[in-house]
Amino acid sequence: MSIKPLIILPDPVLRQVSKPVERVDADLRKLADDMLETMYDAPGIGLAAIQVGEPRRLLVIDLAKEGEPPAPHVFINPEVLESSDQRSVYEEGCLSIPDYYAEVERPASVRVKYLDRDGKLQEIKAEGLMATCLQHEIDHLNGVLFIDHISKLKRDMVVRKFRKLAKDKVPGKMVG
C-alpha cells in the first residue's frame, strides 16, 4: 500500500465526472487500499478516487472513532436510489479543500446501491454521518464539491483563497 498525493482546489481535475468501473480486479482493490491508507494518513473519513487523480467511480469511507478498530468500506459505482425528504445539517470538510469547514444541508438518509471490493452487488440504507459522507463522496464522483452547497459569496471567497495559495506555490503559473 502507498500514500497517494491529494488533488487540491483549484485543480480542475476535481470537476471531472468519474467513469464507471468496468472490472473489479486486483488493481482496483490495490487502488482502494492505497486510498484508505491516504485517507487515514490525511486524516479523513472519506475519499473519492478523483481526489487522488483517478477519475473512476470508487470511494472509501471509515467512520470509526479514534481508539476504535478501523471499519473501512469500499463503494464501487455507488448510485443513490432514494433520498429522504427529511434534511440534516453537518459541518463538512474536505481533504481537497484543507482547513475549510462549512455547514451543509443534505437529505438525512439515502439508499445506495454499489459493488463491494469483491464485485458483489450491495445496498445500504445510510443515515446520519454515513449518509452525509456517502453523498459528499458521490458528489466528488460527479465533479461536485461540498462548497457548491454553500452560498455563492462564501464559495467564491474559498475558491479565491485557494487560487491565491496555488499561484503563490507555483510562481508565474496560475492553476485552475
Contact indicator for 61, 45 with CB cutoff of 8 Å: yes
Query: Cα 170 vs. chain centroid, distance in angstroms?
Result: 26
pLDDT 10s digit of each residue in the chain, 176 long? 799 999 999 999 999 999 999 999 999 999 999 999 999 999 999 999 999 999 999 999 999 998 999 999 999 999 999 999 999 999 999 999 999 999 999 999 999 999 999 999 999 999 999 999 999 999 999 999 999 999 999 999 999 999 999 888 754 433 33
What was the pLDDT predicted at 157? Answer: 95
C-alpha cell at 161: 483563497
Q: Where are the beta strands (DSSP E) in the chain?
A: 46-48, 58-61, 73-83, 87-94, 97-107, 109-115, 121-127
Q: Which of 28, 65, 58, 27 is nearest to 43 (CA)?
A: 65
3-state secondary structure of 19: strand
What was the pLDDT predicted at 175? Answer: 36
Contact indicator for 18, 49 with CB cutoff of 8 Å: yes
The reply to whether the predicted model has a pTM over 0.85 is: yes
3-state secondary structure of 143: coil
66, 82, 103, 137: the active-site residue: 137
- The domain spans of the chain are 12-169
**Helix locations, the chain, DSSP H:** 26-41, 128-141, 152-169
Query: CATH topology for 12-169?
Result: Peptide Deformylase (3.90.45)
What was the pLDDT predicted at 173? Answer: 39
What is the rounded radius of gyration, in angstroms, for the C-alpha atoms of the chain? 16
d(C-alpha 3, C-alpha 155), whole Å: 29
What was the pLDDT predicted at 166? Answer: 87
C-alpha cell at 168: 503563490
- H or E segment and range at residue 25: none
User: Is 22 assigned a catalytic role?
Assistant: no
What was the pLDDT predicted at 170? Answer: 56
